[in-house]
Homo-oligomer: A and B are copies of this chain.
């Protein structure tokens, strides 16, 4: 397969699709809308999981596991939830196959389920059905639980990582004695997500709340983090929901308070998914391939030997081994690619495509001079470095690259937040520059809907740092008390 990618400014969407496949992140499977996450892509996801899992545990959460299947009737118990989720989903109706008289395998109609099972699109219902048994007293609260799981939503148009029928995610589900505690939890997890996005993915995000029409089905408030991709479209990277007492009431989860009263429990839920992989690709990568922040790169440093014959390779290997040992001792992941099946030029292109942050090349002249050539993936710059300085330079550079990717993405993001005063400007910015548009909104779902119809832009969030000012709505001209962020979004 050719390594040449479509250029971003030719066709961003095609560039993304090609890159995900060529960099061995994922591919489509024989099952409609379901992807195969390939080892290299999965290694990045494992790094994402490990960091998030650590952060969840440090904030007092524990992991558990709940069933894949949810009885159909569970969904009916929370009215807005069923409309939002249960309808486009995989339905299990039978539990057996059999051979027909020609030996063909068919569904056994005698093995029809009394009640259909839904493959979980999200687990609030099955979890709150369980929490009823776990919560009796205020002593059982808070319940701070997370699960890593696969979920299925029957999307009609799918794209690798961004929108797939099956995806991997984590879903936190917490139960609290008071409204205040649940609100604090929902905001805290928004903060954890923002911290992870910025400090590990090097992806700046805006924290805000969703408007009513963009809220999670069953939530009273949805806290989101919104990122901006290089094509000027926004991407919702994580959400944290304050669910009030909706699920507690639907599933009758009550507790005895300190004062001896029976009260309904307060709830939150929050999740991020393999969609983050798409966000990661679209935030940093370029026309040569992936650009990965060092903290999430499965291989942080690759070493490519340049040699003729076994003798030269042996000489290089000898020089390189102590460097590898020192880097590994510092927790830096290194690959020494000494395969003789591929030429150095091929390897250079391969590791550029795969976004390895630092590449070391070492040949016979370097052996003579005790040097190596060190190349940065993000800037595509090279320098000759003395072998004795290499380890400390690499340590410094990895931190610098992590920082620099964030700074660059932040500069792009900040230069793509445009405040507009009227709807003509709104449309013009959207068509030409893209990015986030900050504008007054009159607070009605009607205006929100009309803007979406006319421009495909939606309200991404009401930013946390918005000030209460007064102005007039960018669309209706009516009095407005809040500025919100619009954008076209993934």
Contact = CB atoms under 8 A, between A and B. Distances in A.
A42 B37 CA distance: 24
A129 interface: yes
A70 to B, nearest CB: 7
Interface string A293-329: 0000000000000000000000000000000000000
A143 to B, nearest CB: 9
A42 B145 CA distance: 11
- Copies of this protein chain in the complex: 2
Interface in A108-142: 116-119, 126, 129-130, 133, 139
Interface residues of A, number: 62
A36 interface: yes
A91 to B, nearest CB: 4
Interface string A175-192: 000000000000000000
A156 B66 CA distance: 20
A69 B31 contact: yes
Interface stretch (A95-103, A280-288, A355-363): A95-103
A67 B31 contact: yes
A407 interface: no
B166 A69 contact: yes
Contacts of A45: 65
25 contacts: A27-B130, A29-B66, A29-B67, A29-B126, A29-B129, A30-B71, A31-B70, A31-B71, A35-B67, A36-B66, A36-B130, A37-B64, A39-B145, A42-B64, A43-B63, A68-B150, A87-B96, A87-B97, A90-B92, A91-B95, A91-B97, A91-B107, A92-B93, A93-B107, A95-B154
Interface of A: 27, 29-31, 34-39, 42-43, 45-46, 62-72, 74-76, 82, 86-98, 104-105, 107, 116-119, 126, 129-130, 133, 139, 145, 149-150, 152, 154, 166, 168, 341
Given A29-B129, A87-B98, 16 more contacts: A31-B126, A36-B130, A38-B64, A39-B62, A45-B65, A68-B166, A72-B97, A72-B105, A86-B105, A91-B93, A91-B94, A93-B93, A96-B154, A119-B119, A139-B341, A149-B150
